[in-house]
Chains A and B, each alone.
Chain A
């Protein structure tokens, strides 16, 4: 009987029907070579289990238990990123994070609704809000010193965050304008903060975000994340040319 590695693996993993299982078991009993191949896979399984099963015996940390047991989830302080938790950096108060995430959700909805003609400025990727379309393009390419006259998105401050990533503030023109902060994360600009702005009287296409135009909530987000000073024009261009790595 010819038995493939795949069938043997499935046998070891208990994935075969009763009839198939019996067939293979019979074949193993008559073939030393087969029996050795099975024993080899079973040994690997046991060694792996033996190595990691020790974790099951450890007491679960109180902070994890408390998190699940807690009746009022609203009071939990979310860990925004694992790396952030590792850095043990000072956190924003819980209410801020919650307010900010609600804002992000609301405005993302608005933006997606407003631009639902295939020109979305944000999208959800693996559960995270990331820049898309014209917003992503502007964050990738635009220099604050050379914003095209008809651009719908204007970048503002660029800086290096405490996480080591490059972040940029941006401003979206339009009747339901918004401003926000995005940080480059390998392939995407993750939108950390997104804040709605009151509609401008007679939207000026040449409108451009100056430092004083940054909404207070966004400013708070910048100061929370920035490491040192914002990039100057030359540093901004160098960072862009290096692909924001």
Chain B
């Protein structure tokens, strides 16, 4: 292994907590999230030469994670794809969720269509700039911002009762 690969590996290790967070947001389950991330790391490490220096390593990894997740959804089938039933969403919500509204947020997020959830996760949770988030999702910036706006509005609607003290 070359030195540059060793260096890249070090940078990937630093990114692991954030990648876990993104995977958790998408899968809504700690075990699935880590299994998904393992798959992503295997893919990334075998294709390290495909990462272009000068571009953001985190975006590249988020992109692989997003693709792997879409693949996983396809193979699970539509049956499990959308958690329109809040009770079902609750059953897969993270066990560590407590009463401080965490569960409520997870449920609300679980009700968004996948493309809106991705936009929300990348920009509002992962803090990526629009340009990078659009790149990860493989869409123009305008598409990203409109998905983000719709996701935001849907979340605000779903969380509204909670907001009035």
Contact = CB atoms under 8 A, between A and B. Distances in A.
B148 A65 contact: no
Given A56-B18, A60-B16, A79 B35 contact: yes
B149 A5 contact: yes
B87 interface: no
Contact of A64 (B24, B37, B67): B37
A55 B74 contact: no
A91 interface: no
Interface residues of B, number: 53
A152 interface: no
A82 B13 contact: no
B135 interface: no
Contacts of A68: 9, 12-13, 16, 41, 45
Nearest to B129: A15
Residue from the set B39, B42, B124 with the largest chain A CB neighbour count within 10 Å: B124
A61 B34 contact: yes
Contacts of B105: 47-48, 51
Contacts of B20: 55-56, 58, 60, 64
B152 A41 contact: yes
Nearest to B71: A126
Interface residues of A, number: 48
Interface in B11-29: 12-13, 16-18, 20-21, 24-25
A124 to B, nearest CB: 12
A49 B101 CA distance: 12
Contacts of B139: none
Contacts of B129: 15
Contacts of B59: none
Interface stretch (A24-32, A69-77, A109-117): A69-77
Given A41-B152, A64-B16, A82 B36 contact: yes
A63 B16 CA distance: 12
A15 B123 CA distance: 11
Interface of A: 5-6, 9-10, 13, 15, 40-41, 43-45, 47-56, 58, 60-61, 63-65, 67-69, 71, 73, 76, 78-79, 81-83, 85-86, 126-128, 163, 165, 185-187
8 contacts: A9-B148, A13-B130, A68-B41, A78-B42, A81-B72, A85-B38, A185-B74, A187-B74
